[in-house]
Amino acid sequence: MDPQNTEPKVLLSRAKTFRLHTGNLVNRSRMKKKCPCSTSEELRDCIQATMTDWVSMKKADFPDVLDCSLPEATDAITPEEREELKVSGQSLFMYSSSRLSSPACQTLAVSQLDSVIIAPPPPLEADQSLAHLQPAWEQLEALVRSQKIAAIGTSDLDKDLLEQLYNWAQVKPSSNQVNLASCCVMPPDLTAFAKEFDIQLLTHSDPKELMSAETFLEAMRDGAQDQSIADWRLEWVLRYSVIVKSRGIFKSKGYLVSAKRVEP
């Protein structure tokens, strides 16, 4: 086999970790022309389109961490413009308790993200608990201590759970997102607690499950044109944004996706 023309399915069968970067969606014209109906649909389209372009590129080695990204689609941030920009992980969707890293810093060529809001993996039972949140939060705290992230926040916590997290955490949550679908008006007790402890309340409209395991595999299969892909499991999805502070407009936005190959 020609090592300069290695088939994607061979790379996918040998790598242990898969990282995908959609590139800057503000400038990417090859996405579907129609406007996606939801974040979930946008993410699926992004994965499929990135995979489609990536499989056409020549690959020369067999890395453990497979980088599915397109250099020309990434807008790196120069040191000169960093002070004028707010670089945020708008939502970090966790699918497992896997170890977090700071790939956005490397991808966007910045030393630190201004903020990251985490959506922990869905609990096995209906109700969340502090014990369910702690592993992911401790990893974020480590990234704050290493100065990879300046501030960290949470998503969809009610007043009681937010208070438990605040009292337990070494690095306190700076914000909490509330789903617009679950409440039209902020709960008074949550509002009062957030005001007392200087926690910013934000809103979002993301679905409870951003992407199912099967939808992720389907997007990979369609993009790679390989229906045999089946042994990859989502670890996390980071939706990031880069905003020009003085103008309030997006310079770039996109997704970073991490998956782990399931050993037979």
Q: At 116, which amino acid appears?
A: V
| Closest C-alpha among 54, 52, 50 to residue 25 | 50
pTM of the model: 0.86
Q: For residue 91, count CB atoms less than 10 angstroms from its CB and return exposed for 0-12, middle for 13-18, buried for 19 or more.
A: buried
Cα distance between residue 129 and residue 259, in whole Å:
26
**pLDDT score for 161:** 93
104: its two tokens: 């956005």
**pLDDT score for 204:** 86
The total of structural domains in the chain comes to 1
**pLDDT score for 62:** 66
**pLDDT score for 61:** 67
Determine contact, residues 242/93, Cβ cutoff 8 Å.
no
Please list the rounded mean pLDDT of every run of 10 residues in the chain (264 residues).
Answer: 55 86 75 66 91 78 79 76 90 77 75 89 66 88 93 92 96 92 80 96 85 92 87 90 90 90 78
- Of all helices (H) and strands (E), which one includes residue 141? helix 130-145
State the greatest distance between any 2 C-alpha atoms of the chain, in Å, as a whole number. Answer: 65
Please, what is the end-to-end C-alpha distance for the chain in angstroms?
A: 25
What is the b/e burial string over 131-143, where b = at least 16 CB atoms within 10 angstroms of the residue's CB? Answer: ebbeebbebbbeb
3-state secondary structure of 53: helix
**pLDDT score for 5:** 44
Cα distance between residue 243 and residue 250, in whole Å:
4
Determine contact, residues 91/155, Cβ cutoff 8 Å.
yes
**pLDDT score for 4:** 43
